[in-house]
């Protein structure tokens, strides 16, 4: 399934709150949310955006992404700032807690309204809050056992509408295959290469990496080409198989251990494709695999953020996007973890 492009908003004054709320309302309409669920989304977005204006020392950024297509798809909301941080997150999650004496529904209520909620705050470095409304999950039972939980964001270069980056995932027989794509350049021509790659990826779910890269190379010859990484995640065996061509970077982050960086090889799928090299990496349950395009700088370390490695993958991706986006290109950051459903 292709991950829709996220939309970001700078929120540094009250008018920005209204802009974000209107965008969320439009997504709720597209998802055919009823009045109750649409109202919950509106409250979440309004509270998080208002907090950026009030507490973030110059504002911050909201990122909103629909997940899935059709009625009752999920909507993800990410609030990011580089403000003073929250000294005590536990206190901040108490109902009606306010450090400034102002009224609001509070982060505690946001946590209750959201189907998924997570927060990470470093005093002096900023705060990231993730909330997801997922109407379908409220009635759908999750099968027990190991599964892959993913979170990530593809965002267009500032000033552009279309993103030349993208990613897609496809579960199959206990495993999950993921592709991250960075079309050469940015804008519509880069987006065309990425969409072509994802369409082919979705049509050949069982192809070997070598065969799939060969098919992608032929398909993208008439486009600008792209950097592409393919990943097979096997939660049962706690392994990741990776093959990359071009500038897709990443690492496996395991609590208490040094990061292990994945290896991509030079080239451009569609124009210059050498021999495909596949690498296997240990991926213990609870570890993160993090992948990103060159719209993010590579000199990051998850363990530089106390406790971040254990947070929701979408929140991890959001923090790394906030702190390592280059600002001159499309950007994609994706994080994946094996979790055990009860």
- Find the CATH number of the domain harbouring 197: 3.60.40.10
Give me 334's structure tokens.
């994706």
Looking at the structure, tell me whether residues 193 and 112 fall in a common domain: no
Answer with the one of 138, 163, 186 that is the final residue of a domain: 138
Are 127 and 141 spatial neighbours (Cβ–Cβ below 8 Å)?
Answer: no
Backbone angles phi, psi at 151, to 5 degrees: -155, 140
Min mean pLDDT across 52-61, 255-264, 276-285 is at: 52-61
- Confidence class for position 141, pLDDT limits 50, 70, 90: low
Q: What is the C-alpha end-to-end distance of the chain, expressed in Å?
A: 25
- Confidence class for position 5, pLDDT limits 50, 70, 90: confident
Total of domains in the chain:
2
Note the pLDDT of residue 140: 64
- C-alpha span between 110 and 7 (Å, rounded): 21
- Confidence class for position 97, pLDDT limits 50, 70, 90: low
- Find the CATH number of the domain harbouring 120: 3.30.565.10
Note the pLDDT of residue 101: 44
DSSP label at 211? Answer: H
Looking at the structure, tell me whether residues 54 and 199 fall in a common domain: no
Q: Which residue has the higher pLDDT, 33 or 95?
A: 33
Q: Which residue has the higher pLDDT, 314 or 5?
A: 314
Mean pLDDT of 138-163: 84
Query: Does residue 126 surpass a pLDDT of 90?
Result: yes
Answer with the one of 138, 163, 194 that is the final residue of a domain: 138
Looking at the structure, tell me whether residues 77 and 170 fall in a common domain: no
Average pLDDT of every residue of the chain? 91
Looking at the structure, tell me whether residues 133 and 149 fall in a common domain: no
Looking at the structure, tell me whether residues 130 and 69 fall in a common domain: yes
Residue 2 is assigned to a structural domain of this protein: no
Q: Which residue has the higher pLDDT, 140 or 34?
A: 34
Query: Does residue 96 surpass a pLDDT of 60?
Result: no
Note the pLDDT of residue 118: 97
Query: Does residue 203 surpass a pLDDT of 70?
Result: yes
- Confidence class for position 102, pLDDT limits 50, 70, 90: very low
Q: What residue numbers bound the domain in which 43 lies?
A: 7-138
Are 107 and 295 spatial neighbours (Cβ–Cβ below 8 Å)?
Answer: no
Residue 212 is assigned to a structural domain of this protein: yes
Answer with the one of 104, 138, 172 that is the final residue of a domain: 138
């Amino acid at each position: 399934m292709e991950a829709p492009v996220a939309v970001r908003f700078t929120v540094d004054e009250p008018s920005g709150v209204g802009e974000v709320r209107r965008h969320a309302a439009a997504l709720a309409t597209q998802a055919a949310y009823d009045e109750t669920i649409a109202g919950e989304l509106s409250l979440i977005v309004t509270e998080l955006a208002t907090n950026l204006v009030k507490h973030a020392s110059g504002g911050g950024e909201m990122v909103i992404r629909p997940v899935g297509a059709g009625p009752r798809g999920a909507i993800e909301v990410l609030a990011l700032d580089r403000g003073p941080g929250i000294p005590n997150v536990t206190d901040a999650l108490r109902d009606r807690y306010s450090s400034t004496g102002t009224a609001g529904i509070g982060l505690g209520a946001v946590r209750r309204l959201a189907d998924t909620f997570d927060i990470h705050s470093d005093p002096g470095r900023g705060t990231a809050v993730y909330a997801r409304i997922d109407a379908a999950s409220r009635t759908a039972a999750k099968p027990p056992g190991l599964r892959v939980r993913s979170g990530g964001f593809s965002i267009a270069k500032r000033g552009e509408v279309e993103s030349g980056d993208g990613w897609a995932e496809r579960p199959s027989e206990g495993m999950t295959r993921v592709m991250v794509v960075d079309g050469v350049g940015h804008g519509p021509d880069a987006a065309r290469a990425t969409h072509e790659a994802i369409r082919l990826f979705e049509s050949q779910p069982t192809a070997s990496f070598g065969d799939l890269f060969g098919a992608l190379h032929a398909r993208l010859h008439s486009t600008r080409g792209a950097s592409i990484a393919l990943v097979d995640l096997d939660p049962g065996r706690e392994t990741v198989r990776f093959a990359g061509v071009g500038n897709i970077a990443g690492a496996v982050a395991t609590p208490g251990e040094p990061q292990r960086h994945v290896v991509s090889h030079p080239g451009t799928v569609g124009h210059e494709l050498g021999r495909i090299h596949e690498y296997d990496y240990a991926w213990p349950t609870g570890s993160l695999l993090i992948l990103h395009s060159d719209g993010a700088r590579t000199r990051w370390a998850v363990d530089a953020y106390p406790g971040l490695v254990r947070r929701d993958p979408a929140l991890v991706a959001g923090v790394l996007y906030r702190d390592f986006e280059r600002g001159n290109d499309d950007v994609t950051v994706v994080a994946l973890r094996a979790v055990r459903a009860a």
